[in-house]
């Protein structure tokens, strides 16, 4: 019994000093609000345009029991110059006498709700759009999988936040996100100056029939205000109808890959643009900013909202996200293929000759027969060129070619057509300064040259769908090399190349093709000279086999005794008034061989060979002799033209700076002239003296040529044949960048938009970085260039689409400039106002786009119909209803702001109410 009594005396001790989860939650909210400096009253003293500022968001995490939440603060930051100070509510202008009056000024959020300045903002968060707020807080679950679907849970959170904001004196509205996130459902409150505003959102997929117009919405608004509404209350209304156009008649802004009449792709044009219209929708907003409810009527029977009578129009566009563009995609594919290293044989397989193998073998024997044929009249430079001459009959066929034969044939004709570029190009230096400087920066080629067009064709291949692009590049390059060999064999100059020696400021491939042209030109000229010499001069009788090679000089050196018996040969013209020193004969300028042309690759090879000889005296002498081939040829030509000439005579003509003339006055007062070679020419073991002693009087036509065109041509053709498609694409990347620049420049010029020039400069700067960048950074630089190119191409596509849809055909120059400004703004702003609304040029154009023709039946004759233009049905309707009334008591309460926003769309009906009441005098 005692034990039982003791157990009854024991009781549980509850420690009420320990904070609960709910209290810690409220304390955490208060702490966050204090850290964000939201714990003071905010007076509505400025008005701002929401479109002029940027929205700033900051977040903090907090816990309530076993659930996690996030509280977010949204605020609009605007420049000070764009804010308008309202002097009536400016706290700085309030004296101590007006402190009591200032206490009853509503919070800034309530003032924003009643402000008409930012009705229907074009760019703002949902809550700002619905209630006109510039600052607010949102409490939402941290995880989307834990929505606040329970009403009691939502009320607990709302009560907690109400206590927190009241404790710290926060006047910023706070909202609780309820239901699933995609519904955008909120409840909230705002307290300050003795007023409290309750925020509620109602969402339905379909609006009830009676609430699809203004009359039904006014009923809802009045019912929420209460039953004791005074009769003289004025409800102000703002309305906005939005019309959306998605089906456009014109499709000119949509690009397609070029094809010929048979449907085959054309590879002669650089792809540009998009195969989709970048503008997926055009929306027109017509606004009636402010009027009382009695002014207009909208119900089932009557509608006074005529969009053509609206004084505020705004236009916006819906752009296609991630717009694919042809040029950028082709360039990206080009750069990807340039990293491949599969050979042509690996890609195209074994080649089959067009002739039978026995015939081919017999053709290969033809060069030996031609060399020994006494009746041949062609000039063969070497055995290698003779062998290569038969390749024109060894045309190969590609098994299962990736490109149709007629496509390749037309492309080859485009590349090698002489009429496509007119006359052969002269040097472009000092002709187009900007173009020349860009070519030098990129080490590219002249515009529309042969190599330029080759890159255009390769880029076009990279844009073709449903083909093996690398095999197609290999196929086209293989045919190009074959055609180049044909040009060499037939003596046909390659079109689209600058004449003369290789220009080292151009790309290496362009230099090689220039060198090949030099070989063709040399070969044709030597053939003509050989034929002329054989038929006219006939200086040497052919031997019994008829050989006339003149590849090397005779081994017989003329002695001093018979120098006078030699007949002068190879004279070009007299060298002014100069005469030979040892005789009274005129000094003649000889016909000499041209300086052998050289490419950058050849100069690098020569430098490498000369460097490998070392730095000793023997190496220096050997290096000098290797570089004296041209000097030896010129000395032999000089001796042939001037048999009695000496080395002094040669120096007088060849290097006048090494011939020194001095004058002295003798004892009789006469001027005596003395001549001598320069000191460097008088050095022992002088190379010029040694070469002069070795030189024999041989005219240029009988000398061994310094430039072996056959050998150099075959070397170039073999080099081009051995390149893999990836290697040739990599070599031509600077030319690719050049073609891209020209294509973008052409499009920007057609835009007539001055601000777009900055885009072109940015693009050019990135191209130069790629060419001059280090190998390890080139991939990153190329990706940056692709991103820049994509944005520029998308901008141009959108501009052209805007221009096509909005420009009238009869615009004058001033109107066109204004329209270009409008189109430019559409890229950066969600919507822009339409000047003059329906009565301006743009407004008339928009009215024609958004007006549809509706057939109507004539009442007098049911068979006859007439067309009537009617504005399309709005895709969305927005209403804002405002009133300022005393609640909850008409007699004792102060007036407080009341607002309701409504949005009607095809699959959405949303009501957003903000109803205030006086918590002090009720």
Assess whether pLDDT exceeds 90 at residue 664: no
DSSP H helical segments within 807-884, as ranges? Answer: 813-826, 841-850
Q: How long is the chain?
A: 922
pLDDT digits (tens, 9 = 90+) for 481-532: 999 999 999 989 999 898 888 888 899 999 999 999 989 988 888 777 666 6
pLDDT digits (tens, 9 = 90+) for 552-608: 443 444 554 454 557 888 888 898 888 888 888 889 999 888 778 888 877 777 677
Higher per-residue confidence, 303 vs 670: 303
Query: Which structural domain range is residue 610 located in?
Result: 604-698
Residue linked to tokens 């400025």:
46
Of the residues 698, 723, 754, the one at which a domain ends = 698
Closest CA to 141 of 124, 151, 155, 154: 154
Higher per-residue confidence, 884 vs 600: 884
Inside any domain, residue 867 = no
Neighbours of 417 (CB within 10 A): 12
Phi-psi region of 798 (alpha: psi -120 to 50; beta: other; left: phi over 0): alpha
pLDDT digits (tens, 9 = 90+) for 433-453: 577 888 888 889 999 899 999
Inside any domain, residue 179 = yes
Least confident span in 206-215, 385-394, 510-519, 838-847? 385-394
Higher per-residue confidence, 551 vs 629: 629
CA-to-CA distance for 483 and 477, rounded, in angstroms?
10
Residue 715 tokens read as 């070397």
Of the residues 154, 174, 204, the one at which a domain ends = 204
User: Which residues touch 915 (CB under 8 Å, ≥6 apart)?
Assistant: 197, 198, 224, 225, 887, 898, 899, 900
pLDDT confidence of residue 618: 64
Inside any domain, residue 326 = no
Residue linked to tokens 């903002």:
121
The alpha carbon torsion through 821, 823, 829, 835 (nearest 10 deg) reads 70
Phi-psi region of 837 (alpha: psi -120 to 50; beta: other; left: phi over 0): left
In whole angstroms, how far apart are CA 489 and each of 351, 387, 410? Answer: 21, 11, 22
pLDDT confidence of residue 869: 61
Over residues 344-360, mean pLDDT: 63
Residue 72 tokens read as 């977010």
| 714, 604 Cβ separation under 8 angstroms | no
Over residues 167-187, mean pLDDT: 93
Higher per-residue confidence, 535 vs 100: 535
Please tell me which of 241-245, 419-423, 676-680 the model is most confident about, judged by mean pLDDT: 241-245
pLDDT digits (tens, 9 = 90+) for 231-287: 778 899 999 999 999 877 655 556 666 676 666 778 888 889 888 888 888 999 999
Over residues 758-763, mean pLDDT: 89
pLDDT confidence of residue 565: 59
Of the residues 172, 187, 204, the one at which a domain ends = 204
Residue linked to tokens 């039946």:
857
Inside any domain, residue 687 = yes
Over residues 315-322, mean pLDDT: 87
CA-to-CA distance for 497 and 445, rounded, in angstroms?
9
Inside any domain, residue 173 = yes
Residue 375, SS3? Answer: coil
CA-to-CA distance for 895 and 110, rounded, in angstroms?
12
Q: What percent of the chain has pLDDT over 90?
A: 32
Inside any domain, residue 712 = no
Over residues 618-647, mean pLDDT: 79
Inside any domain, residue 689 = yes
Confidence of residue 723 (pLDDT cuts 50, 70, 90): very high
End-to-end CA distance of the chain: 62
| 282, 317 Cβ separation under 8 angstroms | yes
CA-to-CA distance for 510 and 487, rounded, in angstroms?
16
Confidence of residue 776 (pLDDT cuts 50, 70, 90): confident
Neighbour-count burial for 695-704, b at 16+ CB within 10 Å, e otherwise: bbbbbbbbbb
State the Cα angle at 680 between 618 and 587, rounded to 5°. 115
Higher per-residue confidence, 6 vs 360: 6
CA-to-CA distance for 463 and 466, rounded, in angstroms?
10
Over residues 109-114, mean pLDDT: 90
Query: For the chain, what is the mean pLDDT?
Result: 80
Assess whether pLDDT exceeds 60 at residue 86: no
User: Which residues touch 357 (CB under 8 Å, ≥6 apart)?
Assistant: none
Least confident span in 261-265, 324-328, 845-849? 261-265
Residue linked to tokens 């190329």:
782
Q: Is this structure's pTM higher than 0.85?
A: no
CA-to-CA distance for 717 and 506, rounded, in angstroms?
19
- Residue 648, Cα to own-chain centre: how many angstroms? 64
Over residues 761-781, mean pLDDT: 88
pLDDT confidence of residue 199: 96
Residue 164 phi, psi (nearest 5): -65, -50
Total count of domains within the chain: 2
In whole angstroms, how far apart are CA 657 and each of 594, 647, 675, 685, 857? Answer: 22, 14, 12, 20, 103
| 460, 265 Cβ separation under 8 angstroms | yes
CA-to-CA distance for 490 and 389, rounded, in angstroms?
9
Rg (CA), the chain: 45
Confidence of residue 625 (pLDDT cuts 50, 70, 90): low
Over residues 277-305, mean pLDDT: 88
What residues form DSSP beta bridges with 47? 84
pLDDT confidence of residue 379: 35
Inside any domain, residue 903 = no
CA-to-CA distance for 850 and 285, rounded, in angstroms?
11
What residues form DSSP beta bridges with 683? none
Greatest CA span in the chain, whole angstroms?
A: 167
Confidence of residue 140 (pLDDT cuts 50, 70, 90): very high
The alpha carbon torsion through 220, 225, 228, 229 (nearest 10 deg) reads -80
pLDDT confidence of residue 865: 44
Closest CA to 409 of 332, 500, 479, 470: 479
Over residues 710-728, mean pLDDT: 92
pLDDT digits (tens, 9 = 90+) for 47-62: 778 877 889 999 999 9
CA-to-CA distance for 824 and 818, rounded, in angstroms?
10
What DSSP element (H or E) covers 606? helix 600-612
Over residues 94-100, mean pLDDT: 36
pLDDT confidence of residue 788: 94
């Amino acid at each position: 019994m005692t034990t039982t009594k003791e157990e009854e005396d024991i009781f549980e001790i509850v420690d009420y000093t320990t904070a609960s989860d709910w209290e810690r939650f409220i304390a955490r909210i208060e702490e966050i609000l204090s850290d964000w400096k939201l714990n003071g009253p905010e007076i509505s003293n400025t008005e701002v345009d929401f479109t002029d500022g940027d929205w700033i968001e900051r977040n903090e995490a907090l816990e309530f029991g076993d659930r996690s939440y996030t509280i977010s603060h949204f605020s609009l930051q605007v420049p000070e110059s764009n804010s308008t100070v309202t002097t009536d509510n400016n706290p700085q202008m309030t004296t101590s006498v007006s402190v009591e009056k200032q206490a009853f000024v509503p919070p800034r959020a309530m003032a924003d709700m009643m402000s008409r300045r930012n009705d229907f903002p074009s760019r703002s968060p949902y809550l700002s759009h619905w209630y006109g707020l510039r600052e607010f807080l949102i409490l939402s679950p941290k995880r989307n999988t834990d929505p606040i679907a329970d009403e009691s849970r939502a009320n607990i959170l709302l009560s907690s936040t109400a206590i927190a904001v009241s404790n710290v004196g926060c006047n910023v509205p706070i909202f609780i996100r309820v239901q699933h996130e995609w519904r955008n459902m909120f409840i909230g409150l705002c307290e300050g100056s003795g007023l409290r505003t309750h925020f509620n959102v109602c969402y339905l997929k379909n609006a009830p029939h009676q609430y699809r117009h203004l009359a039904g919405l006014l009923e809802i608004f009045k019912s929420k205000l209460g039953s004791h509404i005074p009769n003289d209350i004025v409800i102000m209304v703002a309305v906005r109808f939005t019309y959306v156009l998605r089906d456009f008649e014109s499709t000119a802004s949509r690009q397609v890959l070029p094809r010929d009449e048979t449907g085959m792709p054309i590879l002669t044009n650089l792809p540009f643009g998009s195969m989709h219209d970048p503008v997926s929708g055009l929306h027109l907003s017509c606004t009636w900013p402010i009027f009382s409810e009695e002014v207009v009527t909208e119900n089932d029977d009557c509608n006074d909202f005529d969009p053509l009578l609206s004084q505020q129009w705004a236009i916006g566009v819906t752009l296609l996200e991630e717009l694919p563009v042809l040029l950028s995609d082709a360039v990206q594919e080009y750069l990807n293929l340039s990293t491949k290293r599969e050979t042509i044989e690996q890609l195209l397989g074994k080649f089959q000759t067009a002739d039978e193998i026995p015939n081919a073998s017999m053709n290969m024997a033809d060069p030996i027969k031609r060399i020994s044929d006494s009746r041949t009249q062609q000039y063969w430079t070497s055995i290698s060129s003779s062998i290569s001459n038969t390749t024109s009959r060894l045309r190969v066929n590609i098994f299962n070619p990736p490109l149709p034969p007629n496509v390749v044939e037309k492309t080859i004709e485009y590349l090698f057509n002489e009429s496509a570029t007119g006359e052969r190009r002269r040097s472009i230096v000092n002709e187009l300064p900007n173009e020349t400087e860009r070519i030098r920066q990129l080490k590219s080629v002249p515009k529309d040259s042969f190599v330029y067009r080759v890159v255009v064709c390769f880029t076009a291949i990279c844009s073709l769908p449903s083909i093996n692009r690398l095999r197609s590049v290999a196929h086209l390059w293989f045919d190009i090399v074959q055609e180049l060999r044909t040009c060499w064999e037939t003596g046909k100059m390659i079109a689209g190349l600058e004449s003369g020696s290789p220009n080292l400021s151009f790309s290496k491939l362009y230099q090689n093709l220039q060198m090949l042209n030099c070989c063709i030109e040399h070969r044709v000229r030597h053939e003509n000279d050989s034929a002329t010499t054989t038929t006219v001069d006939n200086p040497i009788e052919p031997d019994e086999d008829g050989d006339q090679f003149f590849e090397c000089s005779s081994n017989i050196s003329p002695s001093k005794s018979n120098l006078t018996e030699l007949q002068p040969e190879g004279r070009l013209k007299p060298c002014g008034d100069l005469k030979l020193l040892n005789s009274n004969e005129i000094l003649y300028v000889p016909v000499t061989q041209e300086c052998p042309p050289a490419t950058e690759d050849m100069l690098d090879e020569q430098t490498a060979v000369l460097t490998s000889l070392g730095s000793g005296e023997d190496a220096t002498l050997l290096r000098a002799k290797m570089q004296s081939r041209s000097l030896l040829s010129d000395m032999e030509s000089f001796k042939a033209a001037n048999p009695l000439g000496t080395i002094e005579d040669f120096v007088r003509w060849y290097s006048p700076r090494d011939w020194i003339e001095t004058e002295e006055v003798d004892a009789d007062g006469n001027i005596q002239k003395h001549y001598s070679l320069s000191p460097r020419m008088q050095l022992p073991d002088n190379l010029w003296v040694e070469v002069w002693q070795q030189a024999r009087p041989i005219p240029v036509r009988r000398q061994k040529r310094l430039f072996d065109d056959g050998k150099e041509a075959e070397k170039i053709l073999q080099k081009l044949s051995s390149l893999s498609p990836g290697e040739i694409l990599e070599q031509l990347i600077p030319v690719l960048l050049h073609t891209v620049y020209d294509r973008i420049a052409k499009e920007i010029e057609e835009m007539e938009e001055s601000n777009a020039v900055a885009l072109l400069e940015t693009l050019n700067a990135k191209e130069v970085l790629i060419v001059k960048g280090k190998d390890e950074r080139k991939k990153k630089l190329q990706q940056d260039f692709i991103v820049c190119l994509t944005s520029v191409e998308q901008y141009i596509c959108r501009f052209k689409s805007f221009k096509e849809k909005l420009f009238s055909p009869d615009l004058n120059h001033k109107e066109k400039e204004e329209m270009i400004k409008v189109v430019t703004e559409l890229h950066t702003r969600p919507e822009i106002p339409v000047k003059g609304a329906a009565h301006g040029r743009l407004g008339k154009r928009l009215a024609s786009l958004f007006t549809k023709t509706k057939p109507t039946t004539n009442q007098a004759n049911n068979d006859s119909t007439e067309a009537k233009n009617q504005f399309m049905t709005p895709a969305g309707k927005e209403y804002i209803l405002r009133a300022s009334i005393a609640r909850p008591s008409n007699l004792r309460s102060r007036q407080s702001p009341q607002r309701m926003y409504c949005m009607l769309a095809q699959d959405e009906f949303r009501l957003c109410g903000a109803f205030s009441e006086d918590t002090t005098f009720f």
